[in-house]
Amino acid sequence: MEVHMRGRPPLGAEIVEHLTGSPQAKQRLAVILRALAGEIPVPQACQELGVGESRFHELRNEVLQHALEDMEAKPRGRPPSPQEDARVADLQRQIQALKIDLRAAQIREELATMLPHVLHHPKGPGGGGGKKPR
């Protein structure tokens, strides 16, 4: 059973010509793509690029790594503005300060419950700081 595909034939490495970049960068990418597609052997690609095989493999891996990173899922929507980032950082600082204040209040409450005589001393005319009468 033969399947007929409609549409344009695939461009292959020629698609690089439609990208934005210098002619040298386009030529280098096209060679790497041709080698990846099996259109040319690696030694020929190395010769066209003027590099050794180890450098060719480094270049190929760099190209693929950048392409892979660009394919990673990204958060939807508009990225936060610098003002929004600053506001978030300010709110985070406020939350941290409030957590500290809350913990201090909890400790004061525990102390008041466990040691009421320390916090509730009688106040006399001198503010409670004088000597006790004998």
pLDDT per residue over 84-103, tens digit each? Answer: 888 999 999 999 999 999 99
Phi/psi-derived region of residue 21, left when phi > 0, alpha when psi is between -120 and 50, beta in every other case: left
Instruction: Tell me the C-alpha distance between 20 and 23, whole Å.
Output: 9
pLDDT per residue over 25-83, tens digit each? Answer: 999 999 999 999 999 999 999 999 999 999 999 999 999 999 999 989 888 888 778 88
Whether the model clears a pTM of 0.75, i.e. scores above it, the answer is no
28, burial (CB in 10 Å: exposed 0-12, middle 13-18, buried 19+): buried
